Amino acid sequence: MHKLFLSYYKPKKDVLAKMWKECIFVFDTSVLLNIYRYTPETREDFFRLLEKLKKRIWIPHQVALEYLEQRENVISQQQIIYNDINEIKTFFQKNILNKYKRGHPFANIEEIKQILDDAIEKAKDALREAQSKSPDLLEEDVHLDRIIQLFGDNVGNPFPKSTLHKVYEEAQQRYKEKVPPGYEDEKSKENPFGDIVLWYQLIEHAKSQKKPIIFVLDDTKGDWWRQHKDKKEEILGPRPELIEEIHNKANISFYMYLADEFIKLAPQFLDIQINPETIREVREVRQRAVDDDEIRSQQEYFRSLIRSLTTNEHTSTLSNLNRHLLDQGLLLDQDSDTEIMHDALRSLLLHKKLSPTQEIRIRKYLNIMLRIMKDRYQSAYDNDNLQTLSQLIDEDKRHEANKQSHNATNISNDELDAENHED
């Protein structure tokens, strides 16, 4: 039985020790991008580990491409800490100042507000000072320089266009049959074939090198990993289909780790010491990045639905949007719902050359979503973006009411004219 279902079992320690000694370590885009999210100490620990493995590390061309395309966005995202601090002030405004507009029996609300304002400004000053001492990675990316130095020529070649077309065709069939990896990206990414291109490039490299491969990634989706049925965040191991496919096509041993597990095991198989805090931070950063990616994925899917309302396929699009609201709405958190509503507003305002029918359809569905958000998240309804959307819809209602009133007046005048004419 063990031989028949080998891909479902975690390799024994002696097998893993042999793999770690002989294998090629392959890294996913998610791992390289998370380097920008680490503290200096954790980042240095990770670079030290890569340096230790320098002769045996490799990345597919697709990973290098995605890394270079996305790194600037990830660098910019680190500025969000300023917004996080401002949220403290917003929370105080909504939940304290608004609640105690007429005062409190014993608390001096204005005094507390001043203390909080001073603390927030001090925190921002500390952030600005720390940032001034750090390199401007958008101008001079020292981490990129180090990654280039570490990997050198250990980067795969791109597939020719003819091969890519074949991969895309195969991917479409694989996705229909839910064959991993990549099918979970089908509706949530502008390029839904990135993971399958990476996977095929990895297999081609395995064929040429004839060595075991350990793949390190921070992508936790179910088209890479077996997940606990009731706890999706609990990873049970690599998808057995992946282990079987690469074994059948390249005849090599294959295993996968999340980055924190990879770093945790490194001292067992390599002559290197790792700070336990590094392992904890890498795990936390991965979880935070996954949450952010899920929010962006939902936003991207929502935007595509809004955009598609301008096509002729209204019935299917509106049906999909309605199903999205019912099926996905409860899974989204308050912040992401608010951002999605803001994106909807922006999409609405930026649309060009809409027919009256198309515009009415968009406004109706935005109205439905606003009502759902208001019922589900009363506090989110206070957000400026939602207020703006609410005002926009209210203006529509007033405009429609005025139009109906005007039509009614015209009808009455016509009837009066008709009566006078009869007289």
Give CA separation, 200 vs 170, 241, 269, 300, in Å. 11, 14, 28, 26
List pLDDT tens digits, range 228-261.
777 666 788 999 999 999 999 999 999 999 999 9
Q: Summarize the confidence of residues 279-306 as an average pLDDT.
A: 68
Q: Which residues pair with 235 in a beta bridge?
A: 227
Six token digits for residue 201: 């490039």
What CA–CA distance (Å, rounded) separates 261 from 277? 13
Look at residues 60, 4, 74 and name the one whose alpha carbon lies nearest to residue 296.
Answer: 74
Residue 331: band (very low, low, confident or very high) from pLDDT cuts 50, 70, 90: very low
What is the rounded CA–CA span in Å between residue 297 and residue 208? Answer: 35
Complete DSSP assignment for 334-360: HHHHHHHHHHHHHHHHH--S--HHHHH
Buried b (16+ CB within 10 A) or exposed e, 306-332: bebbbeeeeeebbebbeeebeeeeeeb
16-36: pLDDT as tens digits:
999 999 999 999 999 999 999
Residue 403 predicted with pLDDT over 50: yes
Q: What is the pLDDT of residue 386?
A: 44
Residue closest to 205 by CA, chosen among 58, 83, 8: 58
Q: DSSP class of residue 311?
A: S
Query: Distance (Å, rounded) from C-alpha 251 to C-alpha 76?
Result: 42
Eight-state DSSP code of residue 361: H
3-state SS track over 57-87: EEECHHHHHHHHHHHHHHHHHCCHHHHHHHH
pTM equals 0.66
State the pLDDT at residue 361: 54
pLDDT of the residue at 329: 40
Strands 213-217 and 57-58: unpaired
| Strand, helix or coil for residue 273 | coil
Q: Could you tell me the residue ranges of all domains in the chain?
A: 7-78+137-285, 309-422
Q: Which amino acid is at 47?
A: F
pLDDT band at 311 (very low <50, low <70, confident <90, very high): very low
